[in-house]
């Protein structure tokens, strides 16, 4: 009986710790809607290379970002994908860009 009581007490303590950790999550961990996420990706692309934004289209659905349009090089396309991946809330990036010179 004593052992069972100890196990129950430990399990209860772990549940309380988990609840406290969830309550302390930062505001940036809050989910954002797809429109906000697209705006954040566009801002990240501008910070990376403003010319990327004029040639790319950004769409987001359920946290999955799709980049389409034209990149001037493979390196520019890779930069755009990396910039999108670094935005908090992005779960996946689909690269549908074509490279044109």
| Predicted local distance difference test score (pLDDT) of residue 52 | 77
Please write the tens of the pLDDT for every residue from 88-100: 999 999 999 998 8
Report whether 89 contacts 63 (CB < 8 A). yes
In a domain, 89, yes or no: yes
In a domain, 7, yes or no: no
In a domain, 40, yes or no: yes
In a domain, 8, yes or no: no
- How many structural domains compose the chain? 1
Q: 39: part of which helix (H) or strand (E)?
A: helix 34-48
Task: Name the residue range of residue 92's domain.
Answer: 32-99
d(C-alpha 65, C-alpha 92), whole Å: 6
In a domain, 14, yes or no: no
Give the 3-state secondary structure of residue 45: helix
- What CATH number should be reported for the domain holding residue 82? 3.30.300.130
| Predicted local distance difference test score (pLDDT) of residue 51 | 81
d(C-alpha 2, C-alpha 32), whole Å: 47
Please write the tens of the pLDDT for every residue from 24-72: 333 445 557 999 999 999 999 999 887 877 789 999 999 999 999 999 8
| Predicted local distance difference test score (pLDDT) of residue 100 | 81
CA 49 to chain centre: 19
Higher pLDDT, 16 or 64: 64
């Amino acid at each position: 009986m004593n052992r069972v009581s100890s196990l129950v007490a430990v399990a209860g303590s772990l549940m309380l710790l988990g609840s406290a950790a969830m309550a302390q999550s930062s505001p940036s961990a809050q989910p954002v809607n797809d429109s906000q996420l697209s705006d954040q990706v566009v801002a990240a692309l501008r910070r990376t290379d403003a010319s990327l934004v004029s040639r790319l289209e950004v769409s987001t659905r359920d946290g999955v970002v799709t980049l389409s349009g034209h990149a001037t090089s493979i390196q520019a396309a890779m930069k755009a994908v990396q910039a999108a991946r670094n935005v908090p809330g992005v779960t996946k990036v689909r690269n549908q860009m074509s490279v044109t010179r």
